[in-house]
Amino acid sequence: MSACPPRELLETLEQGGLDDSKAEPIERHLEHCATCRASMDRIRQTDDYATKLRAVMPVNGDDATDTSVQLAAAGSGDTTVGIASLTEAPTGNRAAVKAADFGSADWMIPDYERVMLCNEGSYGTVWAVRDRVGVYRALKIIDLERLSRLGVKCREKSALEAYCRRVSNDPHLITIYHIGMIDKLLYYTMDLADDYTSRKSVRDVFPASYRPLTLDIVLRERALGVDVGIEIARRLLMGLSRLHELELVHRDVKPSNIVFVNYCPKLADIGIVTTSTETGDSIGTQRYMPPDKVMDKTADTYALGKVLFEMLAGPGAEGFPVLPADRRWNQSRWNRNRISRVIARSCEDTADKRYESATAMLNDLEQCVELTVESLFDDVEETPPAPSRSAAHEAIELGYATIRALPWIFAIIALLVIVSLLTT
């Protein structure tokens, strides 16, 4: 979209009234147009929903002005939202502050104590909550009545059914713990991401200022080390392989949907997971969507190829899919050119040229380890022996030890003399 959209269209976008096909071009335009971003900020500053949310946010007695929140482990968006300034959510999140009923003083979800609002969207919210045994989870609430009123299909309901019926506990996939319904509210709990600031798990202790540890927040700051980036990709491919073996497709692989739980990367946000036979809808995140819009298993490998490039090349790197050469590769066992070829194949323009599954991509990735004939005959570096101690040095040490022991020797002799006198 080149021309700026009218204000009415921006307001409709903010209220969640546009479907994905109409909303995504406007969101891409907002990324590059400062004028439209300013218009969106003004729209949000007059939003009554945000005012209501600010009034009810200090749920634990904390000072709302000192707390910032971001997307929780559900991975339902890319936007950072400040509690004290919900109207100033950055452009690009569709209806960042809506469905204010979920922020009302009447908490309707049984067995879970609300702790922090983590994300607010057009049709639902994500909260950090505490269950009855004191474990912290992410809880997502979806307003089915609002979806029905706007004529929007609830993809998440069918995604939950497909995911929970087929996927058992997997270390590389987000775990769903509980699904429930209250009136017209569908809710479910899942893993809560580690805290970015403290770098610790929040399963049992919730930090005063929580920021979820996602791959997105890490990549905003730095490129990852080669070994770390490839290991993260390997684990994510293992999770995707599990989905693909069960004939499921994730359809929204991206850094903000990759969370760290107990330091392990996991694929989160299952909201548009579907079976491999029902992938007709071209939905997902435009930046990580293949050009042919074929949203099958090859779309997942396409997106992960993009993520792998971003992890290894760093923010704003050019030359995709060829990875830039730097000193990190000289210290790594991975072959940069082979990794680039894996990325190139995973990100082909047409589905028939891409990896047909995550398993196929994982197999090729693991063949990129550098192994030369010379490495088989390298001398093993031995640990040098400890320096020998001279006889004179040992004699001096023995002398010092004897001097330190003299008081104890005299005390023992005196005690023996006293005992002898008392017994005679």
What is the pLDDT, as a whole number, of residue 409? 84
What is the pLDDT, as a whole number, of residue 195? 92
What is the pLDDT, as a whole number, of residue 139? 94
What is the pLDDT, as a whole number, of residue 99? 37
What is the pLDDT, as a whole number, of residue 68? 27
Q: Own/partner pairs for 109-113, CB < 8 Å, 24+ apart?
A: 109/139, 109/141, 109/180, 109/182, 109/185, 109/187, 110/180, 110/182, 112/137, 112/139, 112/189
Q: How many residues does this entry show for the chain?
A: 424
Q: Which residues of the chain have pLDDT under 50?
A: 47-105
d(CA 80, CA 209): 13
Paired strand residues for 128: 116, 138
Please give the order of strands across the beta sheet that includes 185-190. 112-120, 124-131, 136-143, 185-190, 176-182
Amino acid letter for position 58: P
d(CA 189, CA 128): 9
d(CA 299, CA 318): 22
What is the pLDDT, as a whole number, of residue 213? 92
User: Does residue 384 have a cis bond before it (omega within 30 degrees)?
Assistant: no
264-267 vs 258-261, strand pairing mode: antiparallel
SS3 100: helix
185-190 vs 248-249, strand pairing mode: unpaired
- Spell out the domains of the chain, with CATH numbers in brackets: 48-212 (3.30.200.20), 214-374 (1.10.510.10)
What is the pLDDT, as a whole number, of residue 24? 73
Question: What is the secondary structure of 22-61 as a DSSP string?
Answer: HHHHHHHHHHH-HHHHHHHHHHHHT-HHHHHHHHH--TTS
What is the pLDDT, as a whole number, of residue 102? 45
What is the pLDDT, as a whole number, of residue 370? 81
Q: Which tokens is 36 given? A: 């439209």
d(CA 36, CA 6): 9
Q: Which residues contact 243 (CB under 8 A, 6 or more apart)?
A: 167, 173, 249, 250, 267, 273, 300, 358
> Do 238 and 265 contact (CB within 8 A), yes or no?
no
Q: Which residues contact 296 (CB under 8 A, 6 or more apart)?
A: 249, 276, 279, 351
d(CA 267, CA 253): 7
Give the residue among 139, 141, 144 at the shortest CA–CA distance from 129: 139
> Do 40 and 10 contact (CB within 8 A), yes or no?
yes
d(CA 79, CA 96): 8
What is the pLDDT, as a whole number, of residue 49? 38
List, for residues 6-56, the tens digit of each pLDDT value. Answer: 888 887 776 555 665 677 788 778 777 878 877 876 775 554 434 433 333
What is the pLDDT, as a whole number, of residue 271? 83
Q: Which tokens is 263 given? A: 């330091």
**CA 312, chain centre distance (Å):** 17
Q: Where are the alpha helices (DSSP H) in 204-275?
A: 215-219, 226-245
What is the pLDDT, as a whole number, of residue 404? 78
> Do 224 and 216 contact (CB within 8 A), yes or no?
no
d(CA 216, CA 257): 8
What is the pLDDT, as a whole number, of residue 347? 96
b/e for 89-110, b at 16 or more Cβ within 10 A? bebebbbbbbbbbbbeeeeebe
